């Protein structure tokens, strides 16, 4: 119940503070275990006409592929047990990526799950054009400092049940209300 309250509060914070372009393709993720559930964000964006996509792992050491997802679409478990759209779903490049994480800091750094999939994917997407990386997490996942290296991709925003933080050094692609 606390998770559902936090997720609804986070959606309210995001939609009142961040302007997402009308034609943006929004990438989410299918939550695992106690991970922050981003599906309310996806429902919000889908209700407003955005195409939504979920990540697909293609191979170890490679960027993610993103395939279209709509509520009710059947998902298949990959080799790690993570639910993904099937091969028949079209691949689309998102311009907004909701990013899962274990921890984050006040500089836009995130600690992921160690595979580097999101760092490689964000780097590849950002080579093609502006991409907003929005970390979604519980406020309790904040740390003073997250270890990071030269290949780590920073977040443009972090949204929690307590509010939204922008990292203005890189958040130029969206408007703060």
- We report the CATH number of the domain holding residue 6 as 3.40.50.10420
Range of the structural domain that residue 132 is part of: 2-164
In this prediction, residue 171 carries a pLDDT of 43
Residue 172 lies in a domain: no
Query: pTM of the predicted model, to two decimals?
Result: 0.91
How many domains, in total, are found in the chain?
1
In this prediction, residue 17 carries a pLDDT of 86
Residue 99 lies in a domain: yes
Residue 175 lies in a domain: no
**Greatest alpha-carbon span in the chain:** 43
Q: What is the DSSP string of 39-50?
A: HHHHHHHHHTT-
Positions in the chain short of pLDDT 50? 1, 170-177
Q: Where are the beta strands (DSSP E) in 18-123?
A: 18-19, 26-27, 52-56, 65-68, 75-77, 83-85, 96-99, 103-104, 110-111
In this prediction, residue 61 carries a pLDDT of 93
Residue 23 lies in a domain: yes
Residue 170 lies in a domain: no
Residue 176 lies in a domain: no
Residue 152 lies in a domain: yes
Distance separating alpha carbons of residues 10 and 31, to the nearest angstrom: 15
Residue 140 lies in a domain: yes
For residue 157, which phi and psi values (nearest 5 degrees)? -145, 155
């Amino acid at each position: 119940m606390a998770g559902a309250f936090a997720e609804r509060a986070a959606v309210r914070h995001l939609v009142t503070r961040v302007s997402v372009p009308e034609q943006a393709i929004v990438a989410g993720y299918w939550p695992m275990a106690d991970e922050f559930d981003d599906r309310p964000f996806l429902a919000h964006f889908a209700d407003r006409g955005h195409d939504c996509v979920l990540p697909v792992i293609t191979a170890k050491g490679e960027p993610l592929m993103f395939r279209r997802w709509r509520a009710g679409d059947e998902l298949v478990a990959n080799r790690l047990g993570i639910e993904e759209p099937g091969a028949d779903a079209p691949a689309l490049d998102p311009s907004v990526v909701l990013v899962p994480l274990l921890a984050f800091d006040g500089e836009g750094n995130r600690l992921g799950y160690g595979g580097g999939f999101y760092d490689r994917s964000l780097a590849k997407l950002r080579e093609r054009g502006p991409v907003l990386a929005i970390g979604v997490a519980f406020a309790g996942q904040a740390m003073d400092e997250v270890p990071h290296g030269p290949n780590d991709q920073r977040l443009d925003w972090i949204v929690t049940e307590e509010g939204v933080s922008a990292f203005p050094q890189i958040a130029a692609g969206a408007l703060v209300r």
